[in-house]
Every structure is written in C-alpha cells, then in structure tokens.
C-alpha cells in the first residue's frame, strides 16, 4: 500500500486534524515510514497531503496548520 493510500487514516474523519487521536498517531507513523521509503523529497510528500486535504474541502488555512502538525510529528519520529 502506497503512503498516499495511508494519508486519509492519519486525519480525523470530521475535523481533518493530523494525528489528533491515538489511533491516527499510529497510522501517521506508518504513513511517514512508508513516505520516507517511497518519496524523494519533502515537497512530493507535502503535495500529496495538500491534495488530499484540498479534495476533502479543507480551506488553505487549515491545510497550512496541518502541514505544520505533520512537520512536528515527523520531527518527533525522526529523532
């Protein structure tokens, strides 16, 4: 399964907040590991998340906040 297929499971069903629930956090870790193995750049990874959230009807402000959360969670797992 591609990391792109795992993106939806990392966000709340209603609020679309990244890794906001313990189950979402576990799925986020799996998705981040898959993304590290599959992607060549942060830009490619970020674009996939932006496309998903945009497709879910999220506003740009919300998307930007979630990208910041992704960066924070990513740094936690990469330490």
pLDDT in tens, 35-46: 989 988 889 999
Q: What is the spatial distance between Cα 34 and Cα 39, in angstroms, rounded to a whole number?
A: 8
Q: What's the structural domain count of the chain? A: 1
Q: Is the pLDDT of residue 76 over 70?
A: no
For residue 79, the model assigns a pLDDT of 47
Q: How confident is the model at residue 18 (pLDDT cuts 50, 70, 90)?
A: very high
pLDDT tens profile 46-64: 999 999 999 999 999 999 9
Question: Would you report the helix, strand and coil content of the chain in percent, each value rounded to 5?
Answer: 75, 5, 25
- Which residue segment(s) compose the domain that 61 sits in? 3-78
């Amino acid at each position: 399964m591609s990391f792109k297929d795992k993106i939806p499971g990392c966000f709340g069903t209603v609020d679309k907040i990244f890794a906001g629930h313990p189950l979402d956090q576990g799925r986020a870790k799996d998705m981040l590991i898959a993304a590290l193995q599959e992607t060549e750049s942060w830009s490619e990874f970020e674009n996939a998340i932006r496309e998903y959230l945009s497709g879910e009807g999220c506003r740009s402000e919300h998307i930007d906040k979630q990208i910041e959360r992704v960066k924070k969670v990513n740094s936690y797992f990469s330490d």
